[in-house]
Structure 1
Amino acid sequence: MSHRPTPPAPLKPAGLSHPCEVQVPLRPNDFDWAGHLNNSVYPQLLETGRWEWGLAHGADLRHSPLVAVVLRLQLDYLRTVEWDPVGRLVVRTSLADRSPYSFTLAQDVAEPGGTPVARGLVRLGLVDRHTKRVHRADLESLLGPTGTVA
């Protein structure tokens, strides 16, 4: 009788493997005096992308006792976004890595035509908003089979 090794678990569960893409409108006050998108706006764009990724995968933390907290943010600015007070940018978010107590999302910000303007990696942890205790980042149970937070 031969024993085959058990294959390692995939990095991304099937339900979490697809990226989420969302168009985010820009506002006139998002631009600085030089007519460039202010660098402080990019983390806000990434946060919008993270919320949309969670909702697209069935996690709605708005009424959950759990809060996703940013543990690490790495952001590379690739290209200047010029003044366009009614323009839009596309934020693409996908699961990049996971561990027992955190998960990392890869996020790209691009012009609608596809030209990348920024790239981010965001490591998140889960904290119970009432007890302030760290919670395991078990994404499968968090997302639950019904599309709501378990």
Structure 2
Amino acid sequence: MTAGRPFGLVHVSEVALRPNDFDWAGHLNNSVYVQLLETGRWEWGLACGVDLRDSRLVAVVLQLRLDYLRAVDWDPVGRLAVRTSLAERSPFSFTLAQDVERTDGTVVATGRVRLGLVDRDTKRVHPADLEAMLEVPGRAA
């Protein structure tokens, strides 16, 4: 990747936790981690200048790997950070590496998400040309 391209960005999103994010054992529910990663992906895309909300393209998850490393204990007003960066590219997909971290920097989970692009109307797979995504009609970031 060429230096200066927006997709080389490592973006950190701070996400507030909610009381209902925790399970009966007082730990952050496993399903919440997937939501945290999704928030991180959206914010990474917006930080890179891509907003697909009104675009003809839709990003779809092709593969998700999530490793839980440490428990996050009950803290209904706590915050976690999601660090997102581009890990791999191929003609029809791209993979993001994501870490979920406590405010002290301790990594509590790591994820890798492979995404593809699909045309909203035709449902056809679209090449994952990330630079071309900057030119796709949609809301300005």
Fold match (TM-score > 0.5): yes
Q: Does 1:91 align with 2:91?
A: no
Of the candidates 103, 111, 122, which is equivalent to residue 131 of structure 1?
Answer: 122
- SS in structure 1 at match of 2:30: coil
- SS in structure 2 at match of 1:16: helix
Deviations 1:97-130 (A, max 9, x none): 0000000000000001101000000000000111
Unaligned runs of 5+ in 1: 1-9
Of the candidates 14, 24, 31, which is equivalent to residue 5 of structure 2?
Answer: 14
Q: Which residue of 1 aligns with 2:106?
A: 115
Give the C-alpha shift of residue 47 in structure 1.
0.2
Give the C-alpha shift of residue 11 in structure 1.
7.7
Count of matched residue positions in the alignment of Structure 1 and Structure 2: 139
> What are the equivalent positions in structure 2 for 1:43-82 lying under 5 Å apart?
43-82=34-73
Give the C-alpha shift of residue 12 in structure 1.
7.7
Q: Which has the larger radius of gyration?
A: 1
Give the TM-score normalised by the residue count of structure 2.
Answer: 0.93
Contact 2:10 2:83 in 1 (8 A): yes
Give the TM-score normalised by the residue count of structure 1.
Answer: 0.88
Off by >6 Å, runs of 4+ in structure 1: none
Q: Which residue of 1 aligns with 2:29?
A: 38
Q: Which residue of 2 aligns with 1:7?
A: none
After superposition, the CA RMSD in angstroms is 1.9
Give the C-alpha shift of residue 13 in structure 1.
6.8
Of the candidates 120, 133, 138, which is equivalent to residue 142 of structure 1?
Answer: 133
Contact 1:12 1:95 in 2 (8 A): no
Aligned counterparts of 1:122 and 1:18: Cα–Cα separation in 2: 16
Unaligned runs of 5+ in 2: none
Contact 1:11 1:98 in 2 (8 A): no
Aligned counterparts of 2:57 and 2:5: Cα–Cα separation in 1: 23
Give the C-alpha shift of residue 14 in structure 1.
2.8
**Percent identity between the two aligned chains:** 70
